[in-house]
Amino acid sequence: MVMLKELSKEELVLPGNASCAGCAASLALRLTLKVMGSRTIFVVPACCTSIIQGQFPATALNIPVLNIAFAATGAAASGVVAGLRVRGINDVTVIGWAGDGGTVDIGIQALSGAAERRTDFIYICYDNEAYGNTGMQRSGATPIGAWTTTTPTGKREFKKDMAFIMAAHRIPYIATATPSYPTDFIEKLEKAKKIKGTRYLHVLTPCPPGWRSDADLSIELGRLAVQTGMWVLFEIENGVFSISSPSRIALDKTKRKPVEEYLKLQGRFGHLTTNEVVQIQKAVDATLDYYIMLNGQRAYPLLID
């Protein structure tokens, strides 16, 4: 178990960054860099972190950052990894750091290619469930029912299950997380850092302006997402699926909080009818039934011993 007080005191996200009040993504960024340390290169496509970094000639990130086009993260990171290897540099961690749109939509091809090539890097998707930087348009990661500016009466489709898309690539490490459970998140980052090959973390990061929630509720919303089962924390390590301890409460139907507790704090779900909330609850219950069945099992076959 990681002790928060043992975490590095070095701040690689410098004071004065341009994130919104209550931005959980910037918290995820800070924790990530505390674990990864200064020998890290970031590859960042268009996303909120393009803004959070601040404007030239300043930057809020005290590590090398390659800002790259929206669709290009996985490929540009592959180039950085190959270039470092050619130069004999083997103690630098390369991280693709992208939002949900840049991961599950426009960047999925380059990421899939990088994972299939077993590129030695970590890819972290920080997921605020819409195109936040451009003012909250729907993405493939937007949950069903959620208002966005391009789903004015609520999204009608389910959120894309990106972690399992990555599992289909049979990469050595996949995990979901949220900075609302920092020790769980940090443990996963530390584990990812030690493994070779493509590692994928998908991190739910509440977004007050986009979710139409109070800025002081971001941590609470991450917790409720887990406690209701709207967001399940798990790992797929060498193919084996296991639910992480903060999510255990949601496995027991009697202890699982009703989704309404999570939904009602967010304006983006404010238009939902009672029946729609029931439908979402059913979908969450079905997903958890599936995860419970899978817990401890293989999410993909072991091809080579």
Partner 1 sequence: MLKTIVETGNRVAGLAALTARAQVVAAYPITPQTQIVEKIAELVDSGKMNAEYICVESEHSAMSACIGASTVGVRTFTATSAHGLAYMHEMLQWASAARLPIVMAVVNRAMGPPWNIWTDHGDSLPQRDTGWIQIYCASNQEIFDSIIQAYRVCEDQRVLMPAMICLEGFILSHTNMPIKIPDQKEIDDFLPRFKPGWILDVENPVSHGNIVTPEYYMELRYYMHDALQKAKQLIPEVAREYSEKLGLPDYGGLIDKYMCDDAEVILVSMGTMGSEAKLTVKKLRAGGYRVGSARIRVFRPFPRETVREMGTRAKALAIIDRDISFGMEGILFTEIRSALFDLPKKPLTKNFIAGLGGRDVTQIDIEKIAKKTYQILETGVGVEGIDWVNIRR
**What is the contact surface with partner 1 in residues (CB under 8 A)?**
38-41, 43, 50-51, 53-57, 59, 61-69, 71-72, 74-87, 89, 92, 109-110, 112-113, 116-117
Q: What is the phi/psi pair of residue 204, to 5°?
A: -75, 125
* C-beta of 65 vs 243, nearer to partner 1: 65
CB 187 within 8 A of CB 2: yes
The least CB distance from residue 238 to partner 1, in Å, is 24
In the numeric block, the tokens 């103690």 are attached to: 91
Take residue 48 and report the two structure tokens written for it: 């909120």
The least CB distance from residue 283 to partner 1, in Å, is 32
Q: In sequence order, what DSSP letters do the residues of 140-154 get, joined into one string?
A: TTSPTT--BTTBTT-
What does the alpha-carbon distance between residue 116 and residue 171 come to, in Å, rounded to a whole number? 8
* C-beta of 117 vs 256, nearer to partner 1: 117
HSE (side-chain half, CA atoms, 13 Å) at 126: 29
Nearest residue to 131 (alpha-carbon basis) of 158, 104, 163: 104
Q: What is the phi/psi pair of residue 129, to 5°?
A: 65, 30
* Contact partners, residue 248, CB within 8 Å, separation at least 6: none
* C-beta of 2 vs 69, nearer to partner 1: 69
The least CB distance from residue 48 to partner 1, in Å, is 12
The least CB distance from residue 55 to partner 1, in Å, is 5
The least CB distance from residue 80 to partner 1, in Å, is 4
* C-beta of 59 vs 279, nearer to partner 1: 59
* C-beta of 121 vs 211, nearer to partner 1: 121
